[in-house]
A and B are shown apart, each in its own frame.
Chain A
Amino acid sequence: MPTTATDSESSTKRTAPTRADFIRVEQFSFFYGEKQALSKIDLAIPEHQVTALIGPSGCGKSTLLRNLNRMNDLIEGVRHEGDIRIGGTSLYDPAVEVISLRKRVGMVFQKYNPFAKSIYENVVFSLRVAGRSKRAELDECVERSLRAAALWEEVKDRLHESAFGLSGGQQQRLCIARAIANQPEILLMDEPCAALDPTATLKIEELITSLKQRYTIVIVTHNMEQAARCSDRTAFLYMGTLVEHADTMKIFSNPSEARTEEYITGRFS
């Protein structure tokens, strides 16, 4: 891993220049057995911005997202071609351990999935599995992460109660707090609001906007308004290919591809 990335990560004030191609997807194809899910994707995701992946169901946007922390490795019979680089290092470099990669790339899932543990233990989970157990460090991490996830005020008096006692929106924000607890560089969000009501969705969206100062966020969404509201750049995928990738403003006001316009305006889905 390049040291610049970890240095800028550990300092609270980010002074490193924002890299336009922090995550590089190069000629990336992906197969589930015989079925090709992605074909020759080329995509550069800039640092400290929110990039939305949009497209109809089955277009491969979730597959692409889940490849950014190699979550697809769990599925049997998958293979890939091409490469993905984060900060210049290939994810598929034999020297890269998938566990250390996932420490740098946090993930939030479509359905909130807290563990059957207390709120506190949910947040510090990534620290615990990394072998860090100093009480002061954990306490600090819980407060910082929950504040960043805009949940601290709501749960600070019941940190040691079950996470299942929270509402759906709170549980999803807890999952976000858990994902950022170990201070990753990148935050992947797979339709984080799909299981939430509008109020909770609004809160998560505000959260995304506030988090992008510190994290590079990639979000998969079905919701055009959401992509328009909270992303800086938008990539439109269709049947496993990248159709268009540009500033969100441009995609939504003046897309260069006809298919993009048709999708955004709802002529097909």
Chain B
Amino acid sequence: MDAPHHIGAGPFATTGRSRQGEPWVWLTAAGLTLGVLMALGLFVLILVKGAASFWPRSVERIEIRQDSATTVIAGIITQENERRATDGTLHQQIQIFRGNRDLSGEAFVYLDRKDITATTRPESMLVLERLEYGPAIVEAVALETGGTRVAAEDPAFANELERLLDEGRRLRKQLLRVERRDIGAVSRELEALDRAQRGGTVATQEAAPRRVALEARFEKLRAEALRIRSQLSAATFVGVTADDRELRMATGDLLDVFAPNQAGWTGRLGETLRRVWKFLVENPREANTEGGVFPAIFGTVVMTLVMSLFVTPFGVIAAIYLREYARQGLLVRIVRVCVNNLAGVPSIVFGVFGLAFFVYFVGGFVDRSLYADRLPTPTFGTPGILWASLTLALLTLPVLIVATEEALGAVPRGVREAALACGASKWQMIQRVVLPASLPGILTGIILAMARGAGEVAPLMLVGVVKLAPSLPVDTIAPFIHPERKFMHLGFHIYDLGFQSPDAEAAKPMVFATALLLILVVVILNLAAILIRNRIRKRFATSSF
């Protein structure tokens, strides 16, 4: 403030910082800045690392001289760092991803820079994405179909490869349909027949012909699957690695071929987008280290939405009773403290409770009363998405109760009295005036609950999350919604990739990519909820209270 000088001499003279009356504003600003920087740093780190894992980098052909022997390897430089050896000399170590796990065992090698004699980027180097053993880095030699052979130098090679890749995609889709859907349907029918027979609802002589028919269909489908499989391995891709070893593989196992050293900036961008797309929509492969994370995205979203469906009515009703109806005495105060404390209980404790109560007790009861014919195979008496959602609903209940109570309490007394003065009963007042007025606050609570629930991992490991779920909790097989199924979750996926993966080095980029995706999913879910809330708010402009 620029107070006139002569005031400083008067009886109100103050000195130093306190003259401004606001001496420590910078500290509060610094606190906020620190918080924002930390959040931003985290996000940028994950964004950069996650996005970089999709960018196709060049393949280097490296010649190494070690102990007077020359070896050649080809690969992608993934890391460079300095390391001080025991004798005190500084070594520049680089980590190279050379793929070809089936041929050389380790996908990563470490080199000392001083051993490198030459580095080139031959345009003919290909990165093959395969069904097994991770990517391969080779040069193409030929394609062999039955007796014919198309060499890599042949101008028809590119077209032939493209054709075989397309056919592979088509056949794999077909195979999936036969094995997953058709054979699955037949085995479900067989199972149902077994149960019916055991339960006595179908006589044995009646069941026998049906069983024979089903088994015949089963055999036919299996033959069909075998036929597709043999078609998939009809053609062979022949390649040669940088160290002159031959790589032979069925083109049906080949998912994609990309030549990074030929691609320009736009080609690489296209490849990046294609990889991102595949990451989003494909199923995981090879212990989750390859392929996409679609089931995990789907599981996370479905679980969070189902959780919100459970927690919203419970939380709102509980809060209405606590705030509007319960006599505000000692008991209510104790309940309120308990609810607040519940928010601080470690989430794994909720997981244990969910396992004991929902899975074993409620699920066991459901099984005994509705699915007795399937026992001892549990249907609901085993972890699944329904129990996971309920457990998380319980976990997020305090968040919603507290938020709703605050929102209800913020509705001015005048509005309540006005409603009563119009002849409304108490419930009419709550339902027609108080609830609509507190809806934005309640939605804020739901948003907070969703954010908390979507990011939770620990309790889920006990009540329904698995490393690899064979099928989605919602699909096209009747009854379409399968609340008893186990599911995949992005949060658990991160843990699984990072710490449970057979090849931690290979999984590292996936960890960042999945983390980025989890953040994005939570942000999108929240944004959707915030948009809904703002629409509701806009309908009534801003209140003047």
Contact = CB atoms under 8 A, between A and B. Distances in A.
Q: Chain A, interface size: which category?
A: 20 to 34
B437 A116 contact: yes
A182 B423 contact: yes
Interface stretch (A48-56, A101-109, A229-237, A257-265): A101-109
A74 interface: yes
Nearest to A107: B421
Interface centre among A115, A163, A168 (most CB of B within 10 A): A115
A67 B110 CA distance: 88
Interface residues of B, number: 23
Contacts of B269: none
A114 B412 CA distance: 11
Contacts of A107: 417-418, 421
Contact of B543 (A109, A128, A164): A164
B542 A164 contact: yes
B1 interface: no
Interface in A153-209: 162-165, 168, 171, 175, 178-179, 181-182
Interface string B188-224: 0000000000000000000000000000000000000
Contacts of B417: 71, 74, 107, 109, 113
B539 A125 contact: no
A109 B418 contact: yes
A116 B414 CA distance: 12
Interface centre among A107, A129, A164 (most CB of B within 10 A): A129
Given A117-B436, A125-B432, A178-B418, A164 B541 contact: yes
> How would you classify the secondary structure of chain B's contact residues: helix, strand, loop or mixed?
helix
B415 interface: yes
A162 B539 contact: yes
A69 B437 contact: no
A109 B416 CA distance: 11
A116 B422 contact: no
Contacts of B433: 115-116, 125
Contacts of A129: 419, 422-425, 428, 432
A190 to B, nearest CB: 10
A198 B139 CA distance: 90
Interface centre among B418, B423, B425 (most CB of A within 10 A): B423
B408 to A, nearest CB: 13
A71 B544 contact: no
A109 to B, nearest CB: 6
A179 B423 CA distance: 10
Contact of B540 (A69, A164, A168, A179): A164
B326 interface: no
Nearest to A105: B421
A179 B422 contact: yes
B419 A116 contact: no
Q: Which 7 A-B pairs have the closest CB atoms?
A: A113-B414, A107-B421, A126-B422, A103-B423, A129-B424, A162-B540, A116-B540
27 contacts: A69-B421, A74-B417, A100-B423, A102-B422, A102-B423, A106-B421, A106-B422, A107-B417, A107-B418, A109-B417, A109-B421, A111-B414, A113-B415, A114-B418, A115-B415, A116-B437, A116-B540, A126-B423, A128-B432, A129-B423, A129-B424, A130-B423, A162-B540, A163-B540, A178-B418, A179-B421, A182-B422
